Copies of this chain bind each other. A is one copy, B any other.
Amino acid sequence: MIKEMTQDEITLHIIKLLKENKKTDFITILEELQPYDTAKIYEDLPEKHKLRFLLFLNNEVLADLMQELEKEEQLEVLNKLGIEKSSKVLDLMDNDDLALLLDELSPEKKESLLSGMKVEESKAVTDIMNYPPETAGRLMTNRFVWIRSYYTVREAVEKLKTFAEFAESINYLYVVDEQRKLVGVVSYRDLLLADIDEKINNIMYERVISVSVTTDQELVARMTERYDFLAIPVVDESNMLVGIVTVDDIIDVVIKEANEDIEKLSASGKSIDFDTKTFVAAARRLPWLILLLFIGLISGSIISSFENTLEQVVAIAFFMPMIAGMTGNTGTQSLAVVVRGLITHDIEKGVILRLITRELGVGVTIGITCAILISIIAYVWQGSFILGAVVGVSLFFTLVIGTLAGTIIPLILFRLNIDPAVASGPLITTINDIFSLLTYFGIATMFLNYLM
């Protein structure tokens, strides 16, 4: 019935049902909705209808709903539901999502919610929260179904049926031995295609690719992307299967990591989005800006040390912003290539050397092109052949240096195990400012007698 309705029409219809207290019709509609849509509808509801909406839902649907909401809304729902019902809903949430939620709560609130939960569920989520952030251990869910290799397909399917609600979104069954060590994997497709009395042993895939609980989430994402997996199993140090990471979490990781790179490249500060409060956003950005302010003053003191040159040939100042800007730009370009390249490449010596040589070549090529162009422009504009030559030669050297700095600095940081994106665009730009001013004023001072 709701098949042809738009989201807004559905929302209006649901408000009507809530007003008229028609629970059965309400549930029929909710069954046809995706969790994301249910969440959007809940968010759009007038405040006065929200409580009844929640009370009409069973715990499973509430758990699905929770997983789609933003942090603040999750807390709001928990408050509306009360501690006792909340704990029951939390029991049903994926424990990776639950860990993220609990991380945000005060220790007392967290304690009271955990103590209302089933022992095994609260243990599972507490375990997850003990792994370092951004590792497979933090991303994994314990809602997977394991089977033994001596099962038949029929027995495997029986077990899957028993745990159906439990293992909702996963498309593999993992095979473990008596110590719960991971020994194989079968997909739902394999089960469907196999004879019902076939032994799992004969259809399972043995060279299972797994990650460790401490594997960095970026590496987990890279492996999932390479192998086109829908889920990847997570094992502890003794190869015991402890969880799985599903592809939907991987997509979130890929988006988050890309955003982090962009944040760092633009020095825009951690985690600022459309909803961040003004002073929080300002406070997150200020540290970078103040650092860059001091570095900018170094440029100033370089100029002041060439005060004499500048006083005698003021025209030198005209080309200062262009030279500093161009050097910064070429550095940022190299930086972006390196930072994104490091994500998809395994770094070997040969690759690095080839990259540096390539960027040197690029620097020389764009250096020569831009230098010739600016020499002609400077000569025509200021009528001085020497000034044209000084500006051109300076630009050539600063572009080569700038390109190399943008390449080598992130590579050194990477080698030192520092995230290369920390060498943010503005930082490289500012460092290149200093290089370029030293070069430009140095060359101009050498030719000062000819310039005057």
Interface residues of A (CB under 8 A from B): 2-3, 32-36, 157, 160-161, 164, 168-169, 171, 188-189, 191-193, 205-207, 209, 221, 224-228, 230, 247-248, 250-252, 254-255, 258-259, 261-263, 265-269, 272-274, 276-279, 281-282, 285-286, 288-290, 292-293, 296-297, 299-301, 303-304, 307, 310-311, 314-315, 317-326, 328-330, 332-337, 339-341, 344-345, 351, 354-355, 358, 361-362, 365-366, 369-370, 373-374, 377, 425-426, 429-430, 433, 437
Contacts and interface: CB of A to CB of B under 8 A. Distances in A.
A303 B318 contact: yes
B296 A322 contact: yes
Given A259-B340, A321-B320, A307 B314 contact: yes
A366 B337 CA distance: 30
A290 B366 CA distance: 9
A365 B279 contact: yes
Contacts of A268: 332-334, 336-337
A271 to B, nearest CB: 10
B34 A282 contact: no
Contact of A254 (B255, B281, B288, B374): B255
Given A192-B157, A265-B262, A374 B293 contact: yes
A329 B207 contact: no
Contacts of A261: 258, 262
A337 B286 contact: no
Contacts of A325: 292, 296, 299, 426, 429-430, 433
Name the residue among A169, A276, A336, A344 with the largest chain B CB count within 10 angstroms: A336
Contacts of A354: 274
A301 B318 contact: yes
B292 A329 contact: yes
A328 B295 CA distance: 14
Given A160-B193, A230-B230, A296-B321, A314 B311 contact: yes
A262 B336 contact: yes
A193 B266 CA distance: 50
A322 B299 contact: yes
Contact of A366 (B193, B282, B297): B282
B358 A281 contact: yes
A146 B367 CA distance: 58
Given A36-B226, A169-B228, A307-B314, 14 more contacts: A32-B207, A34-B207, A34-B209, A262-B339, A289-B326, A293-B374, A299-B321, A300-B319, A303-B321, A310-B314, A317-B320, A321-B321, A321-B324, A325-B430
A247 B251 contact: yes
B36 A293 contact: no
Contacts of A324: 321, 324
Given A326-B293, A373-B293, A425-B425, A286 B366 contact: yes
A205 to B, nearest CB: 8
A171 B341 CA distance: 32
A336 B228 CA distance: 30
Given A322-B297, A340-B259, A373-B293, A426 B192 contact: no
A63 to B, nearest CB: 14
Given A33-B207, A228-B169, A251-B225, A293 B267 contact: no
B320 A320 contact: yes
A369 B130 CA distance: 39
A333 B269 contact: yes
A230 B171 contact: yes
